[in-house]
Amino acid sequence: MRELTVNEIAQLEEHGCWAEDWSDILVDEGFAPSFLNNVMLYGHNEIGNLNGTVELEEGFRRHCCVRNAVLRNVTIGDDCLIENIRGYISNTQIGDRCYVANIGVITNQEGSTFGCGTEISILNEGGDGNIVIFEGLTAQLAWLMINFPKVKELATINATLSTPHIGSNSRVVGVKEMNNVRIGEGCEVQGSCKLSNCTILSTDDAATFIGSDVIIEDSVVAAGASIIDGAKVYCSFVGESVHIGKGFSAEATVFFANSYMDNGESCAAFCGPFATSHHKSTLLIGGAFSFYNAGSGTNQSNHAYKMGPIHWGTLDRGSKTASGSHILWPAHIGSFSMVMGKVQNHPQVQKLPFSYVIAEGRDTWLVPGINLRTVGTWRDVGKWPKRDKRPLSARTDLINYAFPNPYIIQSVLDGKALLEELLQQNPESTDVFTYGGCRIKRKALLKGIQYYELAIKLFLYHCFQENTTETNETNGGRWVDMMGMLTPQSELESVVRDIERGGISTTTELCDILQQIHQHYKQHEQAYANAIMQQQGSNLFIDRDHWFREAEEAHALWLKMVKDDAEKEYQMGDVDAEQLRDFLESVK
């Protein structure tokens, strides 16, 4: 960079330009004064080469220039087009090949952390802050912060001071106000209302889009996300390839990979991978959700009594809520379950996955295991891998799509034992059983045991078919679902011990270790399958063929159940013959 010549200063003044101190203006060696028009310069400014062009849309390129702008302490990269700044741009670095136009004010104050380090209360809305949002936040780190506060201390270290900048190849057009905002490369901000104290990450292969009338404050947005159509995001983290639009309002919420939110609102919610809400009048509050689909008008209440919003709950992986459903927290619903009606009994039924939880007046009925046989479950487990929009270079959230998997099967085993115990503890004349705040009819209980037996064999079929790393190792220990990542609890406990002893001192180290555990899933899964067979009285060396035959039969039975469920929908007139035929052909 160099200072301006006397002749260049004269030309700039002829073009309506003015500087508080021309000696404080530095330009590129190839700078041409003809490409600055009606620009007022305060403080120290650096301007790159403006001899190139910027493509505004396919087939339409404009020459680079700076015109109709007030700049204060601004660095402009090469080949930028900056024009029609109604207010001013202050204390900002603008990268190469950027288009900044028709905006109000872009300003940054010294010492800003751009939303990084914001502490929020997730799940327990009325509690102390338990998650720190920052650039490197993942679903797994957030889960660990909630369950192991020591991890939050590691995350706090990442809330460091940064340079305010607009990344190369970005577009910022029609924005009213940007205050303390960092924007990554290839990002597009179009017509937003207000961005304040936030970081918007973006890369060339995972570009982020911020659309019209959007407000974002005290938040961090990950690469590949889109926030559009008047959405409002406060004190939140918006993760990889997450969509938020159509006026959705989020406060103190974390959203992770591929979540999709329109129209409704959230508060103190932990929205793990593929959490989805499309409808108006839908509220996600004080809950943990992953691989979740909210029906229209779904909501929860975290004011169970009069002590404030201190209650919270969990819907395990793959759960759904039907239209108009309501859950009074605290509650814990098992994996791949469906909740219907206004549930007021605080059900604790995480040990009964694949269930229907149905509210009727003051009672809540539970039908265990039935959702295993439905078309919906079949479609869900197949669609999520196909809907992962993240490029391979931007996949920091660790997602395991395995179905069934050890986390679910441990609940299946617990549920089967629980139902069998209820049968033993009650006389044969008992028609209705109670557990976890729910009522279970005898017929449903007996069928539930059968469904859970089927699920165990399906898991073994999955392991026999897909595991390429055969091992005679057995490990029947507990598993955890860390918002998408599945791991033996023993592996997690080892990591936590290392953190507490100081062996892991940064979130980067922690993420690397979690990645390694994630990559060894198949080995751990096979060891768990071996343990199940051993627990069932099998000799691994003698009875494996027997188990394989039973698992194959179970898989065939499951496919028949799914097809029968599809036939039932056809008989009800919900699908046409062509749709049915296409679906039946896909079930293999």
pLDDT value at residue 469 = 58
What are the extents of the domains in the chain?
Answer: 1-107
Contacts of 265 (CB under 8 A, 6+ apart): 248, 249, 250, 251, 282, 283, 284
pLDDT tens sequence across 106-160:
999 988 899 999 999 999 988 889 999 999 999 999 999 999 988 998 887 655 5
Contacts of 400 (CB under 8 A, 6+ apart): 484, 485, 486, 518, 521
CB atoms within 10 A of CB 277: 28
C-alpha to C-alpha distance for 141 and 506, rounded to whole angstroms: 11
C-alpha to C-alpha distance for 516 and 495, rounded to whole angstroms: 11
pLDDT value at residue 157 = 65
pLDDT value at residue 394 = 80
pLDDT value at residue 24 = 96
Q: Which residues of the chain have pLDDT under 50?
A: none
Strand partners, 441: 432
C-alpha to C-alpha distance for 538 and 235, rounded to whole angstroms: 53
**pTM of the predicted model, to two decimals?**
0.94
Strand partners, 34: none
Q: How far is CA 148 from CA 137, 367, 500, in A?
A: 15, 34, 10
CB atoms within 10 A of CB 57: 6
| HEC letters along 223-292 | CCCEECCCCEEECCEECCCCEEECCCEEECCEECCCCEEECCEEECCEECCCCEECCCCCEEECEEECCC
pLDDT tens sequence across 201-221:
999 899 999 999 999 999 999
